[in-house]
Amino acid sequence: MFQKLALLLAVIVVVNAHITIPLRKTVKYLFPKRHFESRTSRATTATIPLTDYFNLEYDGPISLGTPAQSFTVLFDTGSSNLWVMGKDATCSQCNQSYHYHQYDSSASSTYVANGTNFNITYGQGNTTGHLVSDELTVGGVSVRVTFGEATKVSYPGRSDGIFGLAYRSLSVRHVLPPLYVLYQNGAIDQLLFSFFLQSNATSDGQLILGGIQSQYYKGSLYYTSIIDQAWYVIGLYNVKVNGQSYTSAQRAIVDSGTSFLVGPSNDVNDIAQSVGATYDSSSGMYFVSCSASLPNIYVTVGDATSNYQLTVYPGSYRLNSSGTCYLAMSGANIYDQYNNSMWILGDVLMRDWYTVFDIANTRIGFGSTKASSTLQICSIFWIVLVYLLFVNA
């Protein structure tokens, strides 16, 4: 059982240690403010369908080269570089049941060598290789980009590579991230993007580069400021479960490349105990009954003067693997360069909240997903229907 879970969880960024993450308030490599203004009166976007892998990884299609070579990549707001496996790449901890696609530069008429090596280290695993230039097609639009042709990869999950969406200040070798290239070339009209993450493939997930699609959320979007521009760092006012507050960290990274909610070890352990979960040291995970009634987790983002409460439902933070249930939460003591403790708000939260990364206006927006509201409405509908048909007969 645990071996199977370990295989599934190979894509998760989980670190059980004291980690210091350097964050920059002043970003040297951002475009000047004037470039943030809309280029045309029409809204130009690129929409990418996302596929859910056991609620642990969300991947989408891109192509590179001429003629086009197809790849499935993880769209990651926690990194800034685009890379895919090269044709001669070696891979450790690969999923043996999955066929990986590998980039063949010799088969592309638009390939240009760069000659620069790169090395990227993630929360789990690393990638090395060399930079190249070629045509990228994503969401129906095409531009030439510089990206990594990986020669050595570890822990790739089920993706052929990673499409980084974070600020350029995180970019290895200062490569201009593909999102910025798309905007600079007019392929997208706004320097923003938004995620709708589905759950267990019950509906289509989408990544929209350059726009917002209101059909994926209900009501209005709530915006909170990005307070550090490298990763997408926002203020965290409170985390509350069963009426108890857990506030040892006042900052959070919103990261599509992290499967779980990751918080200070003591806080996560206390939350797990509060919901009746049991820690297993061999797997490093918290297990819980699949039939237990679990409470909502309330994550309040912002600060004391301006904040908004985001509800994380049990269906998002309790995951089921062949009848064994566990919490999609992990403890890790993560600090920025100013020694501020931080949470990582990963896919668990983003499943319940349509998330807008508005780079131009230095803010992140959250809207309650229509998938969640539809489920609640349907449940109420059937309850009322059963009452009318049987109870009130």
Predicted local distance difference test score (pLDDT) of residue 367: 97
Q: Is the pLDDT of residue 22 over 60?
A: no
Residues 6+ apart with CB under 8 A from 383: none
CATH number at residue 353: 2.40.70.10
Q: Which residues have a Cβ under 8 Å from the Cβ of 172 and sit 6 or more positions away?
A: 80, 81, 118, 119, 120
Regarding whether 371 and 330 lie in a shared domain, the answer is yes
Residue 360 lies in a domain: yes
Distance separating alpha carbons of residues 67 and 73, to the nearest angstrom: 19
The confidence band for 374, taking pLDDT boundaries of 50, 70 and 90, is: very low
Q: Is the pLDDT confidence value at 6 over 90?
A: no
Active site residues: 76, 255
pLDDT in tens, 293-339: 999 999 999 999 999 999 999 999 999 999 999 999 999 999 988 89
Please compute Rg for the chain using Cα positions.
Answer: 21
Q: Based on the domain organization, do 120 and 60 belong to the same domain? A: yes
According to the model, what pLDDT value does residue 327 have? Answer: 98
Residues 51 and 199 in one domain: yes
Q: CA 150, CA 129: separation in Å to the nearest integer?
A: 4
346-363 residue pLDDT tens: 999 999 999 999 999 999
Same domain for 312 and 346: yes
Q: What is the pLDDT of residues 267-279, one digit of tens each?
A: 999 999 999 999 9
At which of 207, 229, 262 does a domain end?
Answer: 207
- Give yes or no: residues 300 and 255 share one domain: yes
User: Is pLDDT at 252 greater than 70 in this prediction?
Assistant: yes
Q: Report the relative pairing of strands 57-64 and 307-312 from DSSP bridges.
A: unpaired
Task: Quote the tokens at residue 235.
Answer: 């203020």
- Residues constituting the chain: 393
Q: How many domains does the chain have?
A: 2
Is 251 domain-assigned? yes
* Within a domain: 7: no
Determine what percent of the chain is predicted with pLDDT higher than 90: 72
Question: Is 316 exposed, middle or buried (CB count within 10 Å of its CB: 0-12, 13-18, 19+)?
Answer: buried
Mark which of 163, 182, 207 sits at the end of a domain: 207
Classify residue 24: in a domain, yes or no.
Answer: no
Q: Dihedral (C-alpha) 61, 39, 172, 231: value to the nearest 10 degrees?
A: -90
Q: What is the pLDDT, as a whole number, of residue 203? A: 66
* Contacts of residue 170, Cβ cutoff 8 Å, sequence gap at least 6: 79, 80, 164, 230, 231
Q: Is residue 34, in this structure, part of any structural domain at all?
A: no
Domain boundary among 207, 234, 256: 207
Whether residues 195 and 227 fall in one domain: no
Instruction: Tell me whether residue 392 is in a domain.
Output: no
* In contact, 78 and 256? CB cutoff 8 Å: yes
Query: How do strand 341-345 and strand 333-336 relate by DSSP bridges?
Result: antiparallel
Are 264 and 153 part of one and the same domain?
Answer: no
Within-domain flag for 162: yes
In a domain, 33, yes or no: no
Full domain range(s) for residue 111: 44-207
Express each pLDDT in 65-100 by its tens digit.
999 999 999 999 999 999 999 999 999 888 777 889
DSSP code, position 177? P
- Say whether both 375 and 246 belong to one domain: yes
Asked whether residue 4 carries a pLDDT value surpassing 50, the answer given is no
Verify that 251 and 323 share a domain, yes or no.
yes
**CA 155 remoteness from chain centre:** 16
Please indicate, yes or no, whether residues 125 and 222 belong to a single structural domain of this protein: no
- Sign of the dihedral defined by the CA atoms of residues 104, 106, 109, 110, in that order: positive
**Tokens standing for residue 259:** 């499967």
Longest dimension (CA), the chain: 78
Domain identity same for 271 and 194: no
**Do 189 and 227 reside in the same domain of the chain?**
no
